Amino acid sequence: MKLRELKEEIRASALNAGFIRARILAPFKPEPPPEGLRVPDNRRLGMPSALVAALPYGNRPLEGETPFAGDPPRGTGSIAPFARRNYYREAVRRLQVLAAEFRTRYGGIRADYCIFCNSPIPEKPLARACGLGAAGRNSLIITPEAGSLVIIAGMTLPLALETDIPLTQDESFFFCGACDPEHPPCKAACPTNAVRGDGKIDRERCIQWYASGNGAAVPPEVVRHWGRRLYGCTVCQDACVRNRRPIPGTRTAEGTLPAYLDCRELMAASDGELKERFKGTALGLSWPGPQGIRRNARLIWEQDMGPG
Ligand code: SF4
Ligand code: SF4
């Protein structure tokens, strides 16, 4: 089979598996992970190519699901739709099936098909390099098919494929920036002025950054805009013109969480109880961690009920 056909076959398999966009990056030479984080298998950093794909979580309830709209009740904290299922785990599960198929079809050993998703490997540069999407002014990757409402995952391939090219400058501008170059809606909507507008977020102003367990203390100007978010600020994504059309999500039962949870119970729970409660969910990852969950719950509780 010609290399081009091989590449299209791999892409088609990924799309059949439910990914909304699939690109090939060759060679696969990711940027080093941020200091302190270790890539699990350093041998994989120099593979001939990789599949980089986007799994959509969408902005519409799936058939048979009841949407939750409105504010959560007093003393409870909301979980953003993107975290109500463990889409990372779902992406890995789908890639594992693909890896087994590819190994049968194309040969190689198991370690040749190394899956990365929510790993220390910086995924956004990979996504930009192979045209998975444009670099968003809200710091996220904007895909043509599903805006920024995707998670990015991929796997290395032991195949010397031709790379997919990045989006051109004009295409990138079309997918992010053309909305209103002077006053991007994502920047205008951010309650804490954390969207700088140059593709970077001022993380020490960003609710999502703190909600993920970062920062020693949450500054009062961020607390003021916290609302009843137990986990997940989506304001800049909700405002993005690329996310406004109906975007179907991915059906999965992995790590299902309700739309909101009782803050008092969370504040009183031990580390072990919280780990058990959120095992396998998007809140059971290394972030926000038990301490972060309790801090988020306390911010809501104190705002609703007063300190104590
Ligand atoms: S996640 Fe929220 S706080 Fe952070 S940049 Fe977006 S809108 Fe602003
Ligand atoms: S609102 Fe406009 S500038 Fe902001 S991320 Fe979306 S497309 Fe880009």
- Cα of 207 from ligand 1 centre, angstroms: 6
- Cα of 253 from ligand 1 centre, angstroms: 27
The answer to whether the CB of 248 falls within 8 A of the CB of 74 is no
For the stretch 13-48, pLDDT in tens is 999 999 999 999 999 988 776 666 566 555 556 789
Within 6 A (CB) of ligand 2 lie 136-138, 176-177, 179, 184-186, 239-242
Residues in the chain, how many?
Answer: 308
The answer to whether the CB of 162 falls within 8 A of the CB of 196 is no
Q: Band the pLDDT of 306: cuts 50, 70, 90.
A: confident
Question: Could you give the C-alpha distances from 258 to 84, 180, 279, 301, in angstroms and in order?
Answer: 6, 35, 14, 18
Within 6 A (CB) of ligand 1 lie 190, 192, 194-195, 201, 206-208, 233, 235-236
Ligand 2, residues 142, 176, 236: which to mutate, most atoms within 8 A of Cβ? Answer: 176
pLDDT at residue 287 tops 90: no
Instruction: Return all residues near 176 (Cβ < 8 A) that are at least 6 apart.
Output: 134, 135, 136, 137, 142, 242
Q: What angle do CA 239, 240, 246 make, to 5 degrees?
A: 95
- Cα of 217 from ligand 2 centre, angstroms: 29
Residue 162's region, left for phi above 0, alpha for psi from -120 to 50, else beta, is beta
Among all ligands shown, which has an atom nearest to the Cα of 148?
A: 2
Per-residue pLDDT at 278: 96
Query: Across residues 147-174, what is the average pLDDT?
Result: 96
For the stretch 36-89, pLDDT in tens is 656 655 555 678 999 999 999 999 877 777 666 678 999 999 999 999 999 999
**299 phi/psi in degrees, rounded to 5:** -60, -40
pTM of the model: 0.93
- Cα of 149 from ligand 2 centre, angstroms: 13
Lowest mean pLDDT, pick from 32-41, 192-201, 249-258, 298-307: 32-41
